[in-house]
Amino acid sequence: MAEQEIHDNGQSGINRRRFVTGALATAAGAATGPLWGAEGARAAAPALLSASVTGRKVAIFGAGMGGLSTAHELAERGFEVTVYERKVLGGKSRSIPVPGTAAGGRKDLPGEHGFRFFPGFYQNLPDTMSRIPFGSGTVRDNLVAASLTAIAYRKKFLRVPIPSELGGGLTPEAIQDYLRSALIAGTTIPLTQVNFFLSKMITFITSGPRRKLGQWENMSFSDFTKADLMSVEYRELLSRMFTASLVAAQPDRANTRTIAMMFEALLYSALGLGPYGPPDQVLNGPSNDVWIDPWITYLTGLGVQFKVGWTATGFDYSGGRITGARVTDPTGAAGTVTADHYVAAMPIERLTPILSTAMKSADPQLARLSHLDTDWMNGVMIYLKEPRPIVEGHLVYAGTPWALTSISQAQFWTTDFPATYGDGAAKDCLSLDLSDWNTPGILFGKTAKQCTRPQIVQEVLAQVRAVTPNGDQLLPDSLVHSWFVDPAISGEGTPAVANDEPLLINSPSSWANRPESTTRIPNFYLAADYVRNNINLATMEGGNEAGRTTANAILDAAGSSATKAKLYDLYLPREFKSLYDLDDVRYQLGLPNKFDLLAPYWP
């Protein structure tokens, strides 16, 4: 069960409603048959569902991006797959409709975990989307381009121009010149500090793989950019903005390799390099309507069974293998399921408590999972009485204490918002992410964790208005129809505040504690965004890539001759190969990257 609330602006709150989170997934066609057999008769002792003698029976625990992607690849290759999900199908990628808001034959108001973003450097996930039928096409057809991210800062809009090409060809100097012209436009960051920041970005871009893993993985982004030595504007626009908006972490908690890699990938996407698509892409409707529900329907048609409301509570380990998975069903009754292959696709905070000492002894990488960090990045939906797209894409509110980012949804959706959702009076949704729940705000002087739900919304509005041009006129109280705070947050405004859906943080040196998808337990696999992956970030793309890797490992274990799931790498320019090779030599000799500069001194 989860409690959710929506309030009318300026009105007393609509009665609090409780609902079963699995209901939406069940309506989408998920099978939720009883563990105890087709007859529904409960056995006197925990039942064992017999494993297939063909070695092709797979039990997946968790129906987020990793679990669904694993199921997709295996089901298309004829495996017998059952997915057990504690909460709701789709995980953090699902929509979160606001219960009790539908009227006049419309659907409930749409909500998301936060805004939905598909950068152009995503490759694995769009490939999966291209294999999910939707109407006369596929789900991938529902991705539409938005403008490159804009920045609201100190009552100005800052936009990064996208050139058709780099002057002088692809060279570090050409990239640096382009970025310099973009960063100095409309800001008062001292030019010497801009040049220093750019030297650090070029340093990373030209670093070889040895330095990236051996040096930048182990350094915080704050230390890398020397943020503590720089101006406030430098810290707000160049250091904190990247980390908070990308990985929900402070610059002193996020490692350089992850942050700079995302910067590099976004840059290449914006320049139209490699196989990348438009840098900023969004869905043309709520995630469930145009992606998750069609996906579940497709997988169900392939024979995948979904058990929603079922929770993994532990694994039985004997003889060097998993012999069963302990679960509870939606009523709380306990049982055990068996399969040939077991896939843990649940979030890190859900997996670590149910790993036994014997399993962690068998594979030390399972023991190291407890060293990984998580933080909060959750959504707030503000429904407006009139369409009010602030910008034509994603918007970063730089310098806001809660590191806010947003998108105005209705402008991208093919459906008529007021005719489709709510009571007809709400005509747009300003979907925001809060990436910093630990810094005091400007209205109440409290952190987001210390605020009640109404205070969270008031504080968010105050911070948006404070940095956006004509913010008070653009987003007045009279325009607000209602609001909705992510139901994963509970106990808000009390010492018991908690988050049921935190995100992994790529802290310095965390790569050493991140596991492979395969383990030393031959029939036990991991498929979630904390698994080591090419994109190296807790994202939908990372979860999808982990699912593909896990599916390939199961194909090998089962002796399958089926074609492996394709894995895509991030683009690196061939023109820079000599620079990478040179830098690897310099790194092994203990020398800095040739573009690396010492930080200037700022009194």
What does the pLDDT read at residue 116? 86
Domain edge (last residue) among 499, 530, 565:
499
> Which two tokens mark 64?
């987020």
Specify the range with the lowest mean pLDDT, choosing from 175-189, 279-293, 498-512.
Answer: 175-189
137 within a domain of the structure (yes/no): yes
Q: Note whether 420 and 331 are same-domain residues.
A: no
What does the pLDDT read at residue 17? 29
205 within a domain of the structure (yes/no): yes
- 400, 153 in Cβ contact below 8 A? no
> Which two tokens mark 104?
């006049």
What does the pLDDT read at residue 42? 26
566 within a domain of the structure (yes/no): no
Q: Note whether 6 and 115 are same-domain residues.
A: yes
What does the pLDDT read at residue 167? 66
Instruction: Report in angstroms the alpha-carbon separations of 276 from 120, 377, 588.
Output: 5, 26, 32
- Give yes or no for residue 88 having a pLDDT over 70: yes
Q: Note whether 206 and 226 are same-domain residues.
A: yes
- Give yes or no for residue 43 having a pLDDT over 70: no
Residue scoring higher pLDDT (77 or 243): 77
What does the pLDDT read at residue 160? 60
- 81, 74 in Cβ contact below 8 A? yes
Q: Note whether 125 and 6 are same-domain residues.
A: yes
Number of domains in the chain: 3
Spatial distance between the Cα atoms of 482 and 454, rounded to a whole number of angstroms = 11
Q: Note whether 62 and 107 are same-domain residues.
A: no
What does the pLDDT read at residue 75? 98
Spatial distance between the Cα atoms of 315 and 342, rounded to a whole number of angstroms = 9
Q: Note whether 358 and 382 are same-domain residues.
A: no
Closest CA to 373 of 508, 226, 567, 175: 508
Residue with tokens 């294999």: 131
CATH code of the domain in which 199 resides: 1.10.405
What does the pLDDT read at residue 148? 63
580 within a domain of the structure (yes/no): yes
Residue scoring higher pLDDT (583 or 245): 583
> Which two tokens mark 464?
């948006």
CATH code of the domain in which 348 resides: 3.50.50.60
Spatial distance between the Cα atoms of 376 and 253, rounded to a whole number of angstroms = 13
What does the pLDDT read at residue 38? 27
Closest CA to 20 of 32, 7, 35, 2: 2
- Average pLDDT, stretch 512-516? 97
- Give yes or no for residue 37 having a pLDDT over 60: no
What does the pLDDT read at residue 465? 98
Spatial distance between the Cα atoms of 33 and 177, rounded to a whole number of angstroms = 61
Spatial distance between the Cα atoms of 454 and 63, rounded to a whole number of angstroms = 31
How many helices (H) and strands (E) are present in the chain, helices listed first? Answer: 20, 27
Closest CA to 443 of 482, 403, 400, 396: 400
Query: Which run of H or of E encompasses 457?
Result: helix 453-467
Q: Note whether 391 and 475 are same-domain residues.
A: yes
Q: Note whether 341 and 232 are same-domain residues.
A: no
What does the pLDDT read at residue 288? 97
Q: What is the pLDDT of residues 94-136, one digit of tens each?
A: 999 999 999 999 999 999 987 788 999 999 999 999 999 999 9
- 61, 339 in Cβ contact below 8 A? no
Q: What is the pLDDT of residues 15-29, one digit of tens each?
A: 322 223 333 333 333
Specify the range with the lowest mean pLDDT, choosing from 5-9, 130-134, 274-278, 469-473.
Answer: 5-9
64 within a domain of the structure (yes/no): yes
Across the strands, what pairs with 17?
Answer: 4
Q: Which amino acid is at 317?
A: Y
Q: Note whether 403 and 495 are same-domain residues.
A: yes
Q: Note whether 7 and 119 are same-domain residues.
A: yes
Q: 179 falls in which pLDDT band (50, 70, 90)? A: confident
Q: What is the pLDDT of residues 445-459, one digit of tens each?
A: 999 999 999 999 999
Cβ–Cβ contacts within 10 Å for residue 506, how many? 30
Residue with tokens 């699912």: 547
- Give yes or no for residue 32 having a pLDDT over 70: no
What does the pLDDT read at residue 177? 85
- Give yes or no for residue 39 having a pLDDT over 80: no
384 within a domain of the structure (yes/no): yes
> Which two tokens mark 24?
């939406």
Report the side by side order of strands in the sheet with 80-85: 305-308, 80-85, 57-61, 341-344, 524-526
- Give yes or no for residue 50 having a pLDDT over 70: no
Provide the domain limits for residue 531.
Answer: 46-87+309-372+516-557
Q: What is the DSSP string of 9-22?
A: TTSPPPPPEEE-TT
Measured in residues, the chain has a length of 603
92 within a domain of the structure (yes/no): no
- Average pLDDT, stretch 178-199? 82
Q: Which amino acid is at 512?
A: A
Q: 413 falls in which pLDDT band (50, 70, 90)? A: very high
What does the pLDDT read at residue 176? 87
Q: Which amino acid is at 276?
A: Y
CATH code of the domain in which 459 resides: 3.30.9
Q: Note whether 7 and 127 are same-domain residues.
A: yes
41 within a domain of the structure (yes/no): no
Q: Note whether 350 and 386 are same-domain residues.
A: no
Specify the range with the lowest mean pLDDT, choosing from 35-49, 186-200, 244-258, 530-544.
Answer: 35-49
3-state secondary structure of 136: coil
Across the strands, what pairs with 137?
Answer: 134
Residue with tokens 């310098």: 399
- Give yes or no for residue 175 having a pLDDT over 80: yes
